[in-house]
Chains A and B, each alone.
Chain A
């Protein structure tokens, strides 16, 4: 079979794996919905959770589509489609594919037509390097969760604080990251302020949504506060970048 980075057979193979992952999501969704009903959660509440999750996902998912487009210039369409539908991210795929390419003596952006051997080498590096979480989670997951359950039984208040601490620890790392280029201001580079301003817009939008809910009683504003703030924050990046970038 003559190789091409967009060969139909590669689309079919990628499609089979993407379909499997889609099936897993549907399977877990249906079972969780059944369990939610058994726990006495209202249909209306569940519908709201699903709608909010779907709306919130649109903007980040479009960003992932852009990543597929970026990678497809060098690797064709099916491999980025697979890699970004299953586990991957743009930064990881670029590093993994770039390392494999440089080990073969070229750069990923070079205008060369990949041979089948080069393509499978890149695919192996991208796949093997990312697979750790997918098999480690089933090995240690139950023990991790049992530890959380034991903690809950032993000390309910501490368990709740522990849970909050996990989230706040993660959020604090990303809040710090937003400020990582701020020190450039001292050398006259103000572009490091763009993410800080974007974060501020998004935070203010969330606060305003809370305020609107209080004043008007419009619960839909609160339900969609996260996607609304996300879109407003992202949109504000355009003028901020024109101004400071």
Chain B
């Protein structure tokens, strides 16, 4: 058998695991149909898919092209199965690489990102499992109105901490995209929590273009 490099084996196993997870996910509703002898309402299924799938497929395609180079191979394969990329997995990987002093485009960065995302995925899965087991006693505590504002503001708290580190480290690169995004989000009411995912690739492409110009002019 051919001796694969670490990164090649990550790609091979990522394919096996992700395709298997996709098949298992699809088998879930199919199994329910057989077990409960129930067919879906085909008309409603089609209408529901037409209303939901095009937007989420578009976002999903953009996310793969945007996040894969940031997460590294191992981290990306895991993240696209376990989800919560922008609000959990990517910040976790970024923080780990920053703490370890490794670059995302190095093999050390690939390994550190994978370790952080795998640990985060395991902890998340276990905490959700614990929440499901203890859902009755936990519901009144976690759903208490006094705590709701804290959980509603996770993203600002997260990106305040991450932003100050990354923006201060490369402020010359950050000035233009941060200014553009501030103007767009303040001026266009349609830009909100629901559309921030679409604005991520816009921000990324704009930042790359600005960086390239600055780099060519020897300003960074």
Contact = CB atoms under 8 A, between A and B. Distances in A.
Indicate the member of A26, A158, A176, A201 with the most B CB atoms within 10 Å. A176
A211 interface: no
A20 B24 contact: yes
Given A144-B69, A170-B90, A198 B119 contact: no
Nearest to A124: B29
A44 B19 CA distance: 35
A70 B90 CA distance: 25
B99 A62 contact: no
A152 B69 contact: no
B68 A141 contact: yes
B36 A3 contact: yes
A113 interface: no
B173 A165 contact: yes
B201 to A, nearest CB: 8
B115 A46 contact: yes
Contacts of A131: 22, 25-26
A61 to B, nearest CB: 4
Give the size range of A's interface with the partner: 35 or more
B86 A53 contact: no
Contact of A164 (B82, B147, B170): B170
A134 B80 contact: yes
Interface string B45-86: 101110111001100110111101110111011101111101
Given A28-B114, A234-B157, A104 B173 contact: no
Given A116-B36, A132-B57, A237-B153, A25 B6 contact: no
B122 A25 contact: yes
Interface in A132-146: 132-138, 140-142, 144-145
Interface in B146-171: 146-147, 149-167, 169-170
A41 B177 contact: no
B149 A174 contact: no
Contacts of B9: 31
A104 B43 CA distance: 8
Contacts of A28: 10, 13, 74, 77-78, 114, 118
Given A21-B82, A99-B48, A194-B153, A203 B122 contact: no
B44 A121 contact: yes
Nearest to A11: B132
Given A27-B13, A195-B156, A233-B160, A88 B83 contact: yes
B138 A65 contact: yes
Given A130-B56, A178-B159, A226 B95 contact: yes
B122 A26 contact: yes
Given A165-B173, A234-B153, A235-B150, A65 B131 contact: yes
Given A57-B119, A159-B105, A17 B43 contact: no
